[in-house]
Structure 1
Amino acid sequence: MSLYAVASDNGHNEQVVVHGVRYAEGPEESKCGSIEITAGYISRILRCSALSLEAKSDSIGIDLSGFLVMPGLINAHDHLEFALFPRLANPPYRNYIEWGEDIHEKFPDVIAKHRAVPKNLRVWWGGIRNLLCGATTVSHHNPLWPEMQRDDFPVRVVQQYSWAHSPALGGDLRAAHAATRESSPFIVHACEGVDELARKELWSLNRSGLLDARTVIVHGLAIDTAGVELMRKRRVSLIVCPSSNNFLFGELPDMALLGGLENVGLGNDSPLTAEGDLLDEIRFAMRSCGIESHTAYHMVTKFPAAILKLKDGEGTIKVSGVGDLIAIKDNGGNAADRLRTLSMTDVEFVMIKGCVQLASEVILERLSPHTKQGLEPLCIDGTIRWLRAPIKERLQKTKEALGTSEIYLGSRQVSTPV
């Protein structure tokens, strides 16, 4: 059973019409109208606020008047199995190897406690953590765990990719790269640090013949001007995770330099090192790295779609594109500028491939009984969201595994509403 099979029980094979909206055509462009989704893909957009699309009698209508609709966001880098972990470090470090060795020495009990939670539960919480902040597509860096291949997983996880951990810890990088299809990315951590080891990793990858249009470097903190020129020549893409870099190494990616690459995406890493969720990461990147709002918008929409070689129009709202939508209250501002202050509590609606995956209590009242089926409530630091996930069961099993009544996604406490 899949996310999209579950959706078929809830109207996915029927026509869905989202109406009364102002929707983002880009970071600064928006129009009013109605969006029709058929079989999970946008089939029509009527750019007129005064009219509604003519719908079939059995279609599902969703009134989102008063909301700004944006494309579902793309989290270009996450480790979904670490969603329940707290931030672990005693920084600063010189490179990622130092960090890994240090936390295993200083925090073995915390690590063992969280690893006692079955991985299938942990990755579910990783999916839920992304869903709550409007990330509908996520690139997981580690093996593709079976739970992530289930169609009822809370978010879409990129399925076609090859990966290695890093030049120092990645195993047989040449074999992993050689196994990568031309239509898929090869993703590897590199240059994650501030010392000579980190600086040399890009050149080591180049000598091994591992830099080409399929290659995606994650972090790249130590990349210099010559490294950027090499990446441009080899058509290598980059994903940055600024809050993790700042936490571990006390330095930020030089976006004035790295922004010269064709495609730079933004990743959220994991609660082990990141400031918070993807929206928290966006705000941090804009505030701390001087990233302009329209660039930040592209770094979680069209840039990662290109980097990860996504083919279904993810990160856009367009006819024939996949029906991934999120909605926030409309204050008249454009989508890019809203990112400056946007947080998880602002995301009131998430749809993935035409299926409602998240609704605030305000939106829930607008949904038909048919559309509400399968949604369960979750309280996150006092905010209630209804999610298409077995929340009560997952919470109970996680509490039993952790031996505690308090569950956190990063720094945010989650529970069932009283």
Structure 2
Amino acid sequence: MTLNNVLPVGGDEQVNILINNGKVADVSSTEMVDTVASLKLTFERAMVFPGLINSHDHLDFNLFPQLGTITYNNYTEWGKHIHEKYKAEIAAVLKIPVTLRAQWGVYKNLLAGVTTVINHGEKLGIADDIITVFEETHCLHSVQFEKGWRLKLNNPFKKALPVNIHTGEGNDWLSCHEIDRLIKWNLLRKRLIGVHAVAMTEHQAKKFDAIVWCPESNYFLLNKTARVDILRQHTPMLFGTDSTLTGDWNMWNHLHIARESRLLNDEEIYRSLTVSAAKTWQLNSGEILPGKDADIVVARVKEGLTGFNAFFATQPDDLLLVMHKGKISMFDESLLKQFDETALKNFSKIYIHGVGKYVKGNLPQLIENIIRYYPEAKFPVSLTKSV
């Protein structure tokens, strides 16, 4: 397969990308002569970037609305409040089988151009067919909510796995102190990947292999986010959305908030979604280079924009192609004429802001199945084109 006439983010010359056996085979500014490629897609006014890596989500929690009405001191205060105030709302969503909820969580990420998501919670065992659901971590919820966290943290049979844990999610002394407790009890010196880290200090950051920044979730709960401008000097920064309990479904809206905060520059945010995340989770992706997994996104460039301005102006309806390990998971209706009819047999059509997209699998059926359990479910896609 070849992707022709695409401009890399931050580049000044259009390139053509050759893909073989699920990996990038070549990237060149010259025309490729390939007699093997069964599909050759040519784009106009389009940019290309690695499939995004969402380093924090709870896939089975993405049918909840945002819950919470006040500014909280920490996540335990928020948790107590929502279970008292929103019992009925929570119960209604939990009636949906976890498999259906998790499947929608996967599509939520795909529709935003995410090709790898690190799931936080019990292993779901979801097949990596349309995106990679990464669960090869030692996942603990938090110091406050994980029963027996000290013993679990020091499980010798999981020593090789990075510990993926919420920590410092608050703006009070308790939130800062729990980070110290976590560091103190990491007796096996396991790799710590801390999520949120709003209360984290520079000294604490040095003890972590990476921090996952979830700015929209932080502002929603705490009206404050991690000082990633300081923490980045001591450990790598990754990017996460968390679930729709505390954030918008659309990762691009999270990225706008991150950019407007000016805590990281454009390139740092971009790397937190790509190469830095791939390195931390030890993935063969995050860059479009020969030998890397062909996790690739092509997006329409808005008129008059270039470079990172074009990248951060992207919205889901601008995505022209999402490829996962060399196989297409979603494409825009404008490309339809470049496909033959047999290529559509495993795809279903939906609309995002009135723009038609073909997605792998039967997304309309999934939506219908969810609505049977939860008629109030709201989806950011429609099954018919709005007039």
Q: Report deviation, 1:131.
A: 0.5
1:82 and 2:61 correspond: yes
Counterparts in 2 of 1:181 and 1:133: CA distance versus 1, 3 Å: same
Residues 95, 194 of structure 1: 8 Å contact kept = yes
Question: Which residue is equivalent to 1:416?
Answer: 383
2:79 aligned to which of 100, 107, 117 = 100
Contact between 1:36 and 1:53, CA under 8 Å: does it hold in 2? Answer: no
1:156-191 deviation digits (Å, cap 9, x = unpaired): 111311110000111233444335756532100010
Structure 2 unaligned blocks of 5 or more: none
Match of 1:192 among 141, 151, 169: 169
Structure 1 residue 213: deviation in Å?
5.9
Q: Answer whether contact 2:205 2:235 (CA < 8 A) is retained.
A: no
- Could you report, residue by residue, the CA deviation over 1:375-416 in whole angstroms, capped at 9, with x for unpaired residues? 101223433321002112112111111134xx424xx3x331
2:299 aligned to 328, 331, 351, which one? 328
Aligned partner of 2:115 in structure 1 is 136
Residue 236 of structure 1 corresponds to 209
Distance 1:59 1:126, change over 3 A: same
Match of 1:125 in 2: 104
TM-score by length of 2: 0.93
SS in 2 for 1:348: strand
The 5 Å alignment of 1:358-369 reads: 358-369=330-341
Contact 1:345 1:383 in 2 (8 A): yes
Letter in 2 for 1:36: L
Moved beyond 6 Å, runs of 4+: none
Structure 1: gaps of 5 or more residues? 1-15
1:210 positional shift = 5.6
Aligned match of 2:149: 173
Q: Conserved in 2, the CA contact under 8 Å of 1:134 and 1:347?
A: yes
Range that drifts further, 176-185 or 257-266: 176-185
Q: How does 1:16-415 map to 2 (within 5 A)?
A: 16-24=1-9, 28-29=10-11, 31-48=13-30, 51-56=31-36, 59-146=38-125, 148=126, 150-152=127-129, 154-177=130-153, 178-179=155-156, 184-209=161-186, 212=189, 214-224=191-201, 228-232=202-206, 234-310=207-283, 312=284, 314-330=285-301, 333-404=305-376, 407-409=377-379, 412=380, 414-415=381-382
CA contact (8 A) 2:61 2:243 kept: yes
Q: Does the 8 Å CA contact 1:184/1:309 hold for their aligned counterparts?
A: no
For residues 61 and 108 of structure 1, what CA distance do their matches in structure 2 show? 52
Query: For 1:117-147, what per-residue CA distance to the aligned partner results, in whole angstroms no more than 9, with x for missing partners?
Result: 111111111111111110110001001213x
Maintained 8 Å contact 1:73/1:135 = yes
User: Residues of 2 paired with 1:332 and 1:135: CA distance?
Assistant: 25
Contact 1:325/1:350 (CA < 8 Å) preserved in 2?
A: yes
Aligned CA-pair RMSD: 2.1
TM-aligned CA distance change 1:172 to 1:381, over 3 Å: farther
- Look up the SS of the partner of 2:338 in the other structure: coil
Displacement of 1:371 after TM fit? Answer: 3.0
Query: Match of 1:399, SS?
Result: helix
Distance in 2 of aligned mates of 1:212 and 1:31: 45
Deviation at 1:90, TM superposition (A): 1.9
| 1:57-86 residue CA offsets vs partner (Å, 9 max, x unmatched) | x62222224311111000010011111111
CA offsets 1:302-344 (integer angstroms, 9 cap, x no match): 111122222x1x1110000000111112457555332332222
Q: Is the 8 A contact 1:72 1:315 kept in 2?
A: yes
Report SS of the residue matched to 2:230: helix
Q: For the Cα contact (< 8 Å) 1:19–1:64, is it kept in 2? A: yes
Secondary structure at 1:338 match in 2: helix
> In the TM superposition, what is the alpha-carbon distance from 1:251 to its structure 2 partner?
1.1
TM, length-normalised to structure 1:
0.86
In the alignment, residue 306 of structure 1 is paired with which amino acid? K
Give yes or no for contact 1:255–1:291 (8 Å, CA) kept in 2: yes
SS in 1 for 2:358: strand
- 1:367 is displaced (CA, Å) by 2.2
